[in-house]
A and B are shown apart, each in its own frame.
Chain A
Amino acid sequence: MSFFDLKGTLKPLTALKQFGKQPHTLKETPFVPREAADRYRGFHYNDLEECIGCGNCSTICQNQAIDMVPVEGIEGKKGDSGLRPRIDHGRCCWCGLCVEVCPTGSLSLTKDYVYVSDDADSFLWMPGVDNPEGKERKSFVSTEATSLNDFARIPMPELEGMERVKSFAEVVLGYNEEQARAEASRCISCGLCTEACPEHMHIPEYINAIARANDADAVRIIYDNNPLPEMCGKVCTRRCEEVCAIAHRGEPIAIRWLKRYATETVNNADLIKEIVNPEINAPNGFKVGIVGAGPSGLTAAYYLALRGFDCTIYEAHAKAGGMTMYGIPKYRFPEESLDKQIEYIQKIGVKIHFNTRVGKDISFKEIYEKYDAVFVGVGFPKPWTLGVEGEDLQGSIQAVNFLYEINNGKQVDIGDKVIVIGGGNVAIDAARVSRRLGADVTILYRRRVQDMPADWEEIEGAEEEGVHIVPQAIPIQFHGDDKGHVKAVEYLLAEMVPDERGRRPKPVAIEGSNKTIEATAVLGAIGQQGDYSFLEEEFAEKIRIERGRFVVNEFQQTTDPKIFAGGDAANRTADAISAIADGYRAVKGIEAMLVKEK
């Protein structure tokens, strides 16, 4: 380099060519705010209608910038905590993780990012409530492709449809460990499900225990308020899954199957006792008599026994379990699963008198006088009849009776063409059992398939097994042959008429649409009712029964303070988990009445 570098001195002067040019960073005047990109991560916006207050945004926020707070005008209900996120924009770092984990997609970020205030408190505000205009300014939104929620359920291994009908082998095979961990890991632990569960089981906690590979803890958490979890794990109506946060855009967490997985890791009663390791109080001197060893009676007995009560159950049949023993087919709920749980309940001190029908083998009055409190969990043993001509023909059988006989190991002659009438779980069970006995099965149902009260998985299972479903069909007559045996069912097609009072549409028969279908047996499954003939007159007067059910207070106490009732005979939901919930509530009622009174 020479002492004077001419080129090096002149070259920089070429910069003068920029002289007078508009600064290129300013495309517009500085007073017009620049419009942000279509994906900009600016202030939050929350669609208050879509938001369910699951709080996942608040959990993922690593700056603890998001609080969940109640909002005026939004009431909490099943599937909605009633809380909404409020964001401290002074802490937010605009990463947008809250958007990515939002299960409903209600939360998004907007293009707005300019906000100036000297009041630091004004940075604390609720998206959607305080910036309704944000709806039009959404930019960074959650889509199913980018969401961090796992929307797809781990498929449950099952026997193949036509393989199933060959035997009564259990259809659902259950998750293995790896599948269970993966499925449990989908859960965001919001806990909305616990409100929908009649028994308020500790769902997020036991799922979390499974996800963290601690099955024993999961079992302990499950047994905390459900002594029949393996049954629930297999046949629960799972109201919890209906409100699952993930279900808003995907498949709900398989809560039922996870419970099943956890309980199946413990395969005998002694092991259950060892793992659950329940704390059994010293006897408190009170005695409780229980009528019926169904889910509600067993639950009441189990938790009363843990609390030091002396419990005795009177069961009319040879086995405990009630409808879950005699009403649910074995391919859904194998007997050994139930036996294991009953054995465990007996192990902690519950006495069960089998084959003892109250009202026949022992009077209700005797029980009433012998015990300090009585719990009645008798269920709905009596089926409704259709009330059509020919219903008393041979081969016209009540589905519950049919299931009872089959579950009892008896033979029932149904021939090869079975018609099932009804659309509930009993109807589907009867149909699928008939398939396993080798018959062709047709279900006649008054409404549409989507109106069927049966579990959708059961309906699907039945279809896979070759059950034929005829919806919108109202039976009007059973025809018999000369020997008095049913040979055909005549029915009318129906059309769905919208209900004026906004209830579900009603099926109305179409005149002249008569159809006849051949049958060797007809199984009626349109519901059951209570049978309270075991109550002596003095009790029948004292205890109020309305619309076939006991009138009870929040502790399942009937109008006779000493008598508590639960299960189908006391609630309207008529499923096992509600019965368990009734039993659990009655325990608290009985304890409050007897122990606290003293």
Chain B
Amino acid sequence: MREKATTLYIGPQHPGITGNMMVRVKVEGDTIVKATTEVGYLHRAFEKLIEQRNWLQSFTLLCRFCVPEPDPVEESYARAVEELEGREVPERAKYIRVMVLELARIASYMLWYGGQAGSLGLYTVGQWSVGDRNYILDLFEELTGGRVYHMYIWPGGVRRDMPEGFEEKVLKTMDYLEKRLDDYDDLMFENSIFKKRTKGIGIIDKAKAIEWGVVGPPLRGCGIKHDVRIDDPYEVYDKLDFVVPTHEGGDIWSRAQVRRQEIRQSIRIVRQVIDKIPGGDFYNKIPNPQKWALPKGDAYARTEAVRGEVGMYVSSDGGTHPRRAHFRGAAYVHAITLLEDLLVGENLADISAIMNSLGTCPPEIER
């Protein structure tokens, strides 16, 4: 009997722990011959709303661009606005921002652990990692007043200084997490199921990676050492000592290895921040937000998130409201054109795993 192509719909309800989107795949047997993404389930018109809010108000929307890691969005918007206005940010605020970004990175990786392992049937990892992520959320709650949506980094600095005794709590949590990472290695990375299901799957062509717009861990998983924190340093990353891990291969396994090592680097950065953080102001106060007008012009600020380079383009007509704020999500590139290309020839059962390894985040695509 001849094989006939069938069309299947993966999603839109969470194809893996990613958020709502759909992949329409044409399969022959269980091999994908064509994949089309369909997004639009999470469009909240944030960018339109931002145009109707003043320069400050919109920061409450920004964190909702990406749930697992809201801080890079806040940070890139804040930095774009600061660049546009020429506003100085106190050194202490920059250090706090870096700490927040790195804590968010760890928290987000923890969620990714769960997603990546879960997509391969290793559910215990997810239960552990979400629990461990909670410790970081506790830190966020203490620092920012919110667990998931921090709304903490805003133009001019950060909203509140670190509470008393916060440094020790951060260090304690870092120590705990560092120990825990060994457990994850045993349970996840050493696991023969994990190895078998990830090695050689979803390979990104190294030669084409940059041209296709691959960024972040997927790019470094191709053995290309690019990271916004190093290439185009922002805040105080140029004053900190850390390595950007890479891994040859371009498959899910390589991307996982990059992330696995990056957590350790993030822990290292957080410790350095605690060690080096200077005193002084945490905030260069903006004028009355209702009447705060920014000079005409535009700015684009990029940040390295766990998914790769994210960026915020803002344009001002000289008024109290943004003319335009446009967000570049890494998933905007990864989870549409790249995903459609990568899935061809792969096995139907690997869709979730590939999507997770690319850092798919539909809310970031749709905003």
Q: Which residues of A contact B (CB under 8 A)?
A: 1, 5, 7-9, 11-12, 14-15, 23-25, 36-41, 59-60, 62, 93-97, 100-101, 109, 139-140, 145-146, 148-150, 182, 184-189, 208, 211-212
> A185 near B288 (CB under 8 angstroms)?
yes
> A97 near B183 (CB under 8 angstroms)?
no
CB-based nearest A residue for B134: A25
Q: Chain B residues with Cβ under 8 A from A100's Cβ?
A: 159
A5 CA to B131 CA, complexed, in Å: 29
Q: Does B48 contact A (CB under 8 A)?
A: no
CB-based nearest A residue for B142: A37
Given contacts A41-B145, A60-B57, A93-B60, contact A12 B187 (CB under 8 A): yes
Q: How many residues of B contact A (CB 8 A)?
A: 44
> A185 near B292 (CB under 8 angstroms)?
yes
Given contacts A185-B287, A186-B288, contact A38 B163 (CB under 8 A): yes
> B192 near A97 (CB under 8 angstroms)?
no
> A12 near B292 (CB under 8 angstroms)?
no
Q: Does B186 contact A (CB under 8 A)?
A: yes
Give the interface centre of B60, B142, B194 by most chain A CB atoms within 10 Å.
B60
- The one of B143, B160, B187, B290 that contacts A59, using a Cβ cutoff of 8 Å: B290
Interface string of B100-138 (1 = CB under 8 A from A): 000000000000000000000000100000010010001
Q: How far, in Å, is B50 (CB) from chain A's closest CB?
A: 10
> A148 near B60 (CB under 8 angstroms)?
no
Q: Chain A residues with Cβ under 8 A from B191's Cβ?
A: 8, 11-12
> A146 near B160 (CB under 8 angstroms)?
yes
CB-based nearest A residue for B124: A15
> B192 near A9 (CB under 8 angstroms)?
yes
Q: How far, in Å, is A112 (CB) from chain B's closest CB?
A: 13
Given contacts A12-B186, A60-B290, contact A148 B56 (CB under 8 A): yes
Q: Chain A residues with Cβ under 8 A from B192's Cβ?
A: 5, 7-9
A247 CA to B60 CA, complexed, in Å: 28
> B60 near A14 (CB under 8 angstroms)?
no
A191 CA to B292 CA, complexed, in Å: 19
- The one of A15, A39, A182 that contacts B145, using a Cβ cutoff of 8 Å: A39
- The one of B149, B190, B291 that contacts A7, using a Cβ cutoff of 8 Å: B190
Q: Does B151 contact A (CB under 8 A)?
A: yes
> A14 near B186 (CB under 8 angstroms)?
yes
A315 CA to B183 CA, complexed, in Å: 96
Can you give 21 contacting A-B residue pairs, CB < 8 Å? A1-B199, A7-B192, A8-B190, A8-B191, A8-B195, A12-B187, A15-B187, A37-B138, A37-B141, A38-B142, A39-B143, A39-B145, A60-B289, A62-B60, A93-B60, A95-B59, A97-B57, A97-B289, A140-B145, A148-B56, A148-B288
CB-based nearest B residue for A109: B145
A244 CA to B257 CA, complexed, in Å: 60
> A14 near B183 (CB under 8 angstroms)?
yes
Please provide the 6 A-B residue pairs with the shortest distance between their CB atoms, ordered closest to farther. Answer: A8-B192, A5-B192, A11-B190, A95-B60, A185-B291, A41-B145
Given contacts A185-B288, A185-B291, contact A12 B190 (CB under 8 A): yes
A184 CA to B288 CA, complexed, in Å: 10
Q: Does B277 contact A (CB under 8 A)?
A: no
Q: Chain A residues with Cβ under 8 A from B283's Cβ?
A: 145-146
A211 CA to B199 CA, complexed, in Å: 62
> B291 near A96 (CB under 8 angstroms)?
no
Q: How far, in Å, is A83 (CB) from chain B's closest CB?
A: 18
Q: How far, in Å, is A409 (CB) from chain B's closest CB?
A: 44
Q: Chain B residues with Cβ under 8 A from A62's Cβ?
A: 49, 53, 57-58, 60-61
Q: How far, in Å, is B280 (CB) from chain A's closest CB?
A: 12
CB-based nearest B residue for A14: B186
A40 CA to B288 CA, complexed, in Å: 24
7 more contacts with CB within 8 A, not counting A8-B190, A41-B146, are A5-B195, A14-B186, A25-B131, A39-B144, A97-B56, A185-B287, A187-B291
Q: Chain B residues with Cβ under 8 A from A185's Cβ?
A: 287-288, 291-292
A149 CA to B290 CA, complexed, in Å: 10
Given contacts A8-B195, A184-B291, A187-B291, contact A40 B131 (CB under 8 A): no
CB-based nearest A residue for B135: A24
Q: How far, in Å, is A327 (CB) from chain B's closest CB?
A: 37
CB-based nearest A residue for B130: A25
A135 CA to B113 CA, complexed, in Å: 42
> B288 near A149 (CB under 8 angstroms)?
yes
A11 CA to B183 CA, complexed, in Å: 9
Q: Chain A residues with Cβ under 8 A from B195's Cβ?
A: 1, 5, 8
- The one of B60, B190, B199, B288 that contacts A188, using a Cβ cutoff of 8 Å: B288
> B289 near A148 (CB under 8 angstroms)?
yes
> B145 near A40 (CB under 8 angstroms)?
yes
Q: Does B285 contact A (CB under 8 A)?
A: yes
CB-based nearest B residue for A95: B60
Q: Chain A residues with Cβ under 8 A from B199's Cβ?
A: 1
A204 CA to B53 CA, complexed, in Å: 20
Q: How far, in Å, is A348 (CB) from chain B's closest CB?
A: 34
Q: Chain B residues with Cβ under 8 A from A139's Cβ?
A: 145
Q: How far, in Å, is A50 (CB) from chain B's closest CB?
A: 20
Q: Chain B residues with Cβ under 8 A from A9's Cβ?
A: 192
Q: Does B286 contact A (CB under 8 A)?
A: yes
Q: Chain B residues with Cβ under 8 A from A211's Cβ?
A: 291
- The one of A1, A7, A182, A212 that contacts B287, using a Cβ cutoff of 8 Å: A182
Q: Chain B residues with Cβ under 8 A from A187's Cβ?
A: 288, 291
A448 CA to B159 CA, complexed, in Å: 44
A212 CA to B144 CA, complexed, in Å: 34
Q: How far, in Å, is B200 (CB) from chain A's closest CB?
A: 11
CB-based nearest B residue for A246: B288
A412 CA to B229 CA, complexed, in Å: 77
Q: How far, in Å, is A108 (CB) from chain B's closest CB?
A: 11
Q: How far, in Å, is B180 (CB) from chain A's closest CB?
A: 10
A185 CA to B289 CA, complexed, in Å: 9
Q: Chain B residues with Cβ under 8 A from A39's Cβ?
A: 141-145, 160, 163
Q: How far, in Å, is B141 (CB) from chain A's closest CB?
A: 4
A185 CA to B292 CA, complexed, in Å: 7
> A96 near B56 (CB under 8 angstroms)?
no
Q: Chain A residues with Cβ under 8 A from B124's Cβ?
A: 15
Interface string of B135-169 (1 = CB under 8 A from A): 00010011111100101000000011001000000
Q: Chain A residues with Cβ under 8 A from B53's Cβ?
A: 62
Q: How far, in Å, is A38 (CB) from chain B's closest CB?
A: 7
> A24 near B183 (CB under 8 angstroms)?
no
Q: Chain A residues with Cβ under 8 A from B141's Cβ?
A: 36-37, 39-40
> A14 near B187 (CB under 8 angstroms)?
yes
A212 CA to B321 CA, complexed, in Å: 13
- B303-323: which residues lie under 8 A (CB-CB) from chain A? none
A396 CA to B192 CA, complexed, in Å: 108
A97 CA to B289 CA, complexed, in Å: 10
> B285 near A148 (CB under 8 angstroms)?
yes
> B145 near A37 (CB under 8 angstroms)?
yes
A60 CA to B292 CA, complexed, in Å: 13
Give the interface centre of A12, A36, A146, A186 by most chain B CB atoms within 10 Å.
A12
> A148 near B291 (CB under 8 angstroms)?
no
Q: Chain B residues with Cβ under 8 A from A24's Cβ?
A: 131
Q: Chain A residues with Cβ under 8 A from B142's Cβ?
A: 37-39
Q: How far, in Å, is A37 (CB) from chain B's closest CB?
A: 4
A9 CA to B60 CA, complexed, in Å: 46
A96 CA to B159 CA, complexed, in Å: 10
